[in-house]
């Protein structure tokens, strides 16, 4: 059934996390994912949704995932191939399978190697979009390990001083275990923003901050539509640029995959050609877990006790803003608007989902 066209209403709504997960499962059913694959894909989407990483959650990733599974661009029946394996390293071919299931497998392999040898590093070529990188980094925490995850992507980011796309948004994430404190969890694009944030602003008709992107002529722009026709900028100028290059090397080159302009644009019809890199560091291979946790807790305490700058009421540590969002969304649901909800239905309908079933069972309520 066809979906309603997006409206322009900004009336606030709230969608429960339970309903959001049910929408994911309904939309992804019958697309070739076996149960364990479906669970991981849904968990990855809900991880981002719960923590407010909405560009990689229900409203950002789900319609694209459905479309790519239905079109055959993502091939869930294809097994991950082991190309080379050493004691603490492995190089894999994702074989065009679902990004989240490939990434979870590879991160778990890195964790297993780190448990035995102290360090585990796995590089994977020939992959699809995996959602939020931190979803995989945090898998290391239950094993007293530090998890580091990187991914290259299609060339929509200009190099520092350039005006054409050569690099991807190339995210980096880490997860660090602690003691009495919450773990440190960091997840950023090395571009000034994630591409999904530009798409979200475009859907909402909102301007973007200056410094996020250039238009097609290479001029700075605050227009999300012009930004989508142009290129993103690296975060922090040459600093983000340097990190993005590192991600492309560790993910693409080390995996024997594609780098830079060789990575196909996400708008193309063929394989995405993305590559991933996963690193797990086993804490007890370096230092006693209790001693490590004490030091990390001390660092977190020092950060919290830092005097706030003008305009700030407190100092937070990596992962803390997302945890607060998650706590709020558990009780208040996911904030959205009539326009955003209608747009989601429209995109799901365009991808072949029965949106009448979605609308009748899981419609959001008016926000309180």
Helix, strand or coil, per DSSP, at residue 287: coil
What integer is the mean pLDDT of 64-70? 96
Query: What's the pTM?
Result: 0.94
Which domains can be identified in the chain, with CATH numbers?
1-71+333-368 (1.10.1530.10), 80-191+234-331 (3.30.1370.60)
Span 133-168, pLDDT tens digits: 999 999 999 999 999 999 999 999 999 999 999 999
Q: What is the pLDDT of residue 129?
A: 96
Number of Cβ within 10 Å of residue 339's Cβ equals 18
Q: Is a pLDDT exceeding 80 seen at residue 1?
A: no
Between CA 9 and CA 339 the distance in angstroms is 5
| 8-state DSSP, 252 | I
**Helix, strand, or coil (residue 127):** strand
- Top-confidence residue, 82 or 11: 82
Assess contact for 177 and 294: CB atoms under 8 A: no
| Residue for token pair 């560009």 | 55
Per-residue model confidence as pLDDT tens digits over 209-226:
999 999 999 999 999 999
């Amino acid at each position: 059934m066809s979906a309603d066209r997006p409206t322009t209403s900004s009336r606030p709504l709230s969608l429960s996390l339970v309903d959001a997960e049910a929408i994911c499962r309904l939309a992804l059913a019958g697309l070739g994912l076996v149960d364990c694959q479906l669970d991981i894909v849904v968990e990855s989407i809900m991880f981002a949704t719960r923590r407010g990483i909405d560009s990689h959650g229900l409203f950002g990733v789900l319609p694209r995932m459905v479309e790519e599974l239905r079109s055959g661009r993502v091939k869930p029946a294809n097994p991950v191939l082991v190309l080379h394996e050493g004691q603490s390293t492995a190089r894999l071919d994702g074989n065009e399978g679902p990004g989240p299931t490939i990434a979870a497998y590879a991160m778990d392999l890195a964790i297993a190697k780190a448990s035995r040898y102290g360090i585990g590093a796995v590089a994977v070529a020939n992959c699809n979009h995996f959602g939020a990188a931190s979803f995989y980094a945090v898998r290391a925490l239950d094993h007293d390990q530090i998890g580091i995850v990187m991914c290259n992507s299609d060339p929509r980011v200009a190099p520092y001083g350039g005006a054409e796309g050569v690099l991807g948004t190339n995210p980096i994430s880490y997860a660090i275990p602690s003691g009495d404190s919450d773990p440190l969890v960091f997840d950023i694009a090395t571009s000034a923003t994630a591409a999904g944030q530009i798409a979200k602003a475009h859907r909402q008709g909102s301007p973007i901050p200056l410094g996020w992107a250039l238009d097609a002529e290479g001029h700075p722009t605050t227009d999300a539509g012009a930004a989508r026709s142009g290129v993103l900028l690296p975060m922090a100028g040459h600093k983000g640029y340097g990190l993005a290059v590192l991600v492309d090397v560790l993910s693409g080159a080390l995996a024997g995959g594609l780098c830079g302009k060789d990575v196909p644009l996400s708008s193309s019809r063929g394989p995405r050609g993305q590559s991933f890199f996963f690193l797990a560091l086993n804490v007890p291979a370096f230092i006693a877990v209790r001693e490590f946790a004490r030091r990390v807790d001390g660092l977190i305490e020092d950060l919290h006790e830092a005097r706030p700058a003008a305009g700030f009421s407190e100092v937070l540590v990596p992962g803390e803003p997302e945890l607060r969002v998650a706590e709020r969304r558990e009780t208040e649901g996911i904030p959205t608007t009539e326009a955003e909800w209608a747009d989601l239905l429209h995109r799901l309908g365009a991808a072949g989902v029965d949106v009448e079933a979605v609308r009748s069972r899981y419609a959001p309520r008016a926000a309180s």
